Structure 1
Amino acid sequence: MPTKHCIFLFMYLLSVSSFCLGQHPSISTTDINNFWRAYDKLNTAQSKEDSVTIIQTEYIDQATNQFKTFIRIRKFTAAEYVKIIGRYPQFWNSVRPLTENIVDRKNEIEGILKKFERELPAFKIPDVCFAIGCLRTGGTTSGNLILIGSEIAAADKQVVKDELTPWLNSIIGNTGDIVSMVAHEAVHTRQKGRNTDLLVSVMNEGVADFVTELVTGLNINSHIHEYGKAHACEIQNEFNEAVKQKSTDLKPWLYNGSSAGSRMHDLGYYIGYAIAESFYEKQTDKQKALEWLLDKSKYKKIYELSDYSEGCN
């Protein structure tokens, strides 16, 4: 057989083999290593300006392409890193080993993503970038890329929280685990459409919680759900009234950790979950129900078909 035909056959067999084996995600922890290298060099800084320069040159300027996307989306700056490192030294020292251990859990993360590939319609395995953020995002997505703020996602109940603000205290150590965070964000990569109003925005987050739990048994917001169940009627009626008024104000329901006061923050996650669960349980065709849950254009109809829209006495 001519050499060029052998090469062609080899490449063909390789591509078929790769297809049969499924996708292998890129799971990067490079930026975590870069952060702690920069962090250690802060000991040599003689001034705040020196510290900013170290974080800029040793961390931000060394960013992987994936982390560059994270920086752009969340607008992280060297000055902000220096500020929060100086403000919470005990926290950073306690969370460090937890972030450094993420590299040892890549197989576990890949296993969860492959489970989604098997069970969710048209799911394409995303790439994952673990980096250190500025204590204001546990995870987000950009296209088919998952971006994880490891200082939040990896924190457990043993990290030192004495220095943290009340909101950070309520978040840190309560997001489940890095695997559940990746799973939640993985569902977001599959959801189609835009967040056009309060209802769709709430369902966007709640559906991600519901589908994650349905497929993997994991939930990053169990503490929010516990509060929601304890105040179910009050929350349901208040939210239904907001929907009736066609509210576009997310602040009472989502991303409101710093302004929720004595009430539990981010109750929209619980509400969206409850709507999704009510709809899903009523459907006989579960595969079609899943397809609807991943399509934001269906969310208003799902709300109407669920028991949640009927109110609570």
Structure 2
Amino acid sequence: MTLTRMLARLAAFCLLSLGVTTASATEATYRPTVSSVDIGHFWEAYDAAIKADDPDQQRAILQRLYIDRGTPGLQAFMQAKGYTAQSYVDAIRSYPRYWASIRSHTLRAPSAIAALEPELRKFQALYPELRPGSIYFAVGALKSGGTTQGDKVLIGAELATGDETVDISEMTPKMQAWLTTYFHSRPFDNMVLLTVHEFVHTQERGPGQNLLGQAIYEGVADFVAEQVTGRKPQLPYIDYGPKHGEAIKTAFVKDMADEDTSGWLYNNTNNPFGVRDLGYYVGYAICQAYYQKAPDKQAAIKQMIELDFADKQAVKAFADKSHYFD
């Protein structure tokens, strides 16, 4: 049996396991599309590409065997991250040890799919208005372990399945520093948490229009994912944030109306603390404060998810009601 067929069968089995009845109003009543077939297609294309030393030939192979055969999820992932066939050629040629060491990890994706069923049930119990979405596991070109586009959750298996055993020795010092921290968090062990976080984004009205809005947009996803799974991401901002909360709050207030979010979100350390993604911590802390003060906890979750992040006044009102900045 080919790798693609094996993964397809596993994905189909997992998809069936996610299909549930409509016997009661508390049960999930939809069948999300969950697919990992792009992973098998990638490795078929990879095996063919590395046999052809010419970059033009490699680009044509990746286009034909991977991209042209891609699921809607792969197409959305490529659009969201600006991937092209050349992106894959560049990544493969630059980091051969990386790809050799990550391969077996990516093939674990179907087991993560199977673990999603109970968490999606919990999510709908927490938020009965949950809308259907699609979850796709694909292989990207080292830009994102997970993102969304519309109702699609897009997981980059070449990052999200890794751990400390992956060989990053060929990468730049900056990439090594990032991936050392990221893989130390053991993302595969937290795959369900990551996927639920991204699934929350498919339900939100986002993204935000300034730093405060975008921080709360991410904070809602972190907070709701914790309520569903009982877990937090094992990333530096989780430990660092509470220990330096007042100083972070003071610095954040100075920037929160800015449209530039780069110092606080998406792996940038250009802030007074030199710690990545502290905007996630601030957004989470605002949501936590809001939730703790809310008399109706389920209504609070609904209000978080349905907040209009494009409305700066609504976002500011939400933050004010949390009293986090008081």
Alignment partner, residue 140 of structure 2 = 133
Alignment of structure 1 residues 159-238 onto 2, 5 Å? 159-164=166-171, 165=175, 166-174=177-185, 175=187, 177-220=190-233, 222-238=235-251
What letter is aligned with 1:120? Y
Preserved CA contact (<8 Å) 1:254 1:266: yes
Deviations 1:245-274 (A, max 9, x none): x32211111124386698111111111001
Larger Rg: 1
Secondary structure of the structure 2 residue equivalent to 1:44? coil
Q: CA deviation at 1:242?
A: 2.1
Match of 1:47 among 54, 66, 74: 54
Measured at CA, do residues 242 and 27 of structure 1 come closer, stay the same or move farther in structure 2, by a change above 3 Å?
same
Query: Following the alignment from structure 1 to structure 2, what is the Cα–Cα distance between the partners of residues 168 and 86?
Result: 19
Q: CA deviation at 1:90?
A: 2.1
Residue-pair matches, total:
292
What letter is aligned with 1:253? W
Q: CA deviation at 1:53?
A: 1.6
What letter is aligned with 1:185? E
Secondary structure of the structure 2 residue equivalent to 1:19? coil
Alignment of structure 1 residues 142-161 onto 2, 5 Å? 142-161=149-168
Q: CA deviation at 1:147?
A: 0.9
Residues 163-172 or 34-43, more deviating: 163-172
Match of 2:44 among 15, 37, 51: 37
Alignment of structure 1 residues 1-313 onto 2, 5 Å? 18-20=21-23, 22-164=29-171, 165=175, 166-174=177-185, 175=187, 177-220=190-233, 222-243=235-256, 246-257=257-268, 263-297=274-308, 298-310=314-326
Q: Structure 2 length normalisation: TM-score?
A: 0.83
Deviations 1:216-265 (A, max 9, x none): 1133353221122232222110111223xx32211111124386698111
Q: What are the ranges of 5 or more consecutive residues in structure 1 without an aligned counterpart? A: 1-16
Preserved CA contact (<8 Å) 2:269 2:275: no
- Give identity over the alignment, percent: 34
Q: CA deviation at 1:28?
A: 0.4
Residues 254-263 or 35-44, more deviating: 254-263
Q: CA deviation at 1:50?
A: 1.7
Query: Following the alignment from structure 1 to structure 2, what is the Cα–Cα distance between the partners of residues 177 and 77?
Result: 28
Q: Structure 1 length normalisation: TM-score?
A: 0.86
What letter is aligned with 1:19? T
What letter is aligned with 2:317? K
Secondary structure of the structure 2 residue equivalent to 1:268? helix
